[in-house]
Structure formats: structure tokens, C-alpha cells
């Protein structure tokens, strides 16, 4: 997992335009969904789980690491690693529900997208080349309780989005 986390932190994020790549419509819709990725992926397996990774804080999105809390996870379907994701939360926010998300053992999407006020903004799709594989990735900002959550995700080759027609 560390290799993918290294990609998230220091990899070359190559922006892609979805209209210019040959992906299925289902795959494109998952990539641009304004809803919980976890809820979507849960439909493609019998057992959906999240593995929390404890890692040091980072400087991301141009914000100093001292002002952020980082949550790194692996989303899994039937025990197979599908997505490596990192969420960054502002430390200066006093909203308890917002801060509790950093320690939740559930995918944050299960909780935050229950609110009608939750919005995904600034969604960008990327490609990474890693060991001769092209992996899809995305970055976005989610507004929850009027506070930002900065999110970055890499879709691993075993993720079902690569096999949808």
C-alpha cells in the first residue's frame, strides 16, 4: 500500500478529459459521481470493507500539514484492495461530527452523503502510470457541515470500474 500512498503524495498527476478516453459510460459515471464511492462499490461485491492506515500528516492542496488531519484508507471488495484514498480535514474546525470522521472505521462516504447539504466540488480525474499500468485517480473537495474535506483516490487495477461495459 505504501507505494500507492507515495503516488498520492508525490506522484505525477496527469489530468485526463473523460471525453477523450475510451472508458465505459458506467465507469465514467462512477468517476464523476457526486455521491458516495463506497456505496457504489459496495454493489460490486458481497463484503465491502475499509482498512484504516495510520500515517503521518502531510502537506496537501497547498495547506500546511500542521493545520490538517489525514485519514488514509484502503477500500476493499471481498478482501481485494480496490481503492487507496486519503482524506484531509482542517484541524481548526470545531464541528465534532466533522472531526469524528477522521477516526471512523466506516468509509466516510457512508456518513457524509446522508446529508442533503453535502456537496462535492472541484472534481478532477487523473491518470497515473505505475509499473506499466495506467491507473485512474481523482481529487475533489467535499463540503460537509460547511467545512472542506480534501479527498484523493487511486483506483487499483483490481477495482471493478476497469471491467464495466
Q: Please give the average pLDDT of every successive group of 10 residues along the chain, which has 165 residues.
A: 78 84 92 93 96 64 66 95 93 81 83 85 90 90 92 95 92
The closest alpha carbon to 107, from 58, 42, 155, belongs to: 42
Tell me the three cell numbers of residue 32.
464523476
- What pLDDT score was predicted for residue 40? 96
Cβ contact 149:76 at 8 Å: no
pTM of the model: 0.87
On whether the CB atoms of residues 113 and 39 are closer than 8 A, the answer is yes
Report d(CA 105, CA 9) in Å as an integer.
22
- CA separation for the pair 16, 9 (Å, rounded): 19
What residues form DSSP beta bridges with 141?
121, 150
pLDDT of residue 59: 47
Q: Provide the pLDDT for residue 7.
A: 78
Alpha carbon dihedral 112, 114, 118, 124, in 10-degree steps, equals 70
What pLDDT, on the 0 to 100 scale, is given for residue 12? 80
Whether 138 contacts 85, CB under 8 Å: no
Length of the chain, in residues: 165
* Architecture per CATH, 2-163: 3-Layer(aba) Sandwich (3.40)
Cα gap 144→117, rounded to integer Å: 7
Domain ranges of the chain: 2-163
Extended beta strands in 21-145, E state? 48-53, 68-77, 80-90, 119-130, 133-144
Q: Contact, 71 vs 90, CB < 8 A?
A: no
Amino acid at each position: 500500500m505504501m507505494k500507492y500512498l507515495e503516488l498520492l503524495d508525490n506522484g505525477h498527476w496527469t489530468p485526463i478529459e473523460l471525453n477523450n478516453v475510451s472508458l465505459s459510460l458506467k465507469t465514467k459515471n462512477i468517476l464523476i459521481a457526486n455521491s458516495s464511492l463506497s456505496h457504489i462499490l459496495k454493489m460490486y461485491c458481497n463484503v465491502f470493507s475499509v482498512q484504516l492506515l495510520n500515517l503521518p500528516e502531510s502537506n496537501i492542496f497547498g495547506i500546511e500539514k500542521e493545520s490538517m488531519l489525514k485519514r488514509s484508507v484502503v477500500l476493499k471488495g471481498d478482501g481485494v484492495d480496490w481503492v487507496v484514498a486519503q482524506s484531509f480535514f482542517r484541524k481548526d474546525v470545531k464541528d465534532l461530527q466533522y472531526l469524528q470522521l477522521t477516526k471512523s472505521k466506516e468509509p466516510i462516504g457512508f456518513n457524509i452523503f446522508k446529508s442533503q447539504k453535502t456537496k462535492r466540488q472541484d472534481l478532477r480525474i487523473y491518470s497515473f502510470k505505475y509499473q506499466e499500468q495506467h491507473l485512474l485517480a481523482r481529487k475533489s473537495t467535499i463540503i460537509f457541515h460547511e467545512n472542506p474535506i480534501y479527498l484523493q483516490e487511486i483506483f487499483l487495477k483490481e477495482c471493478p470500474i476497469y471491467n464495466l461495459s
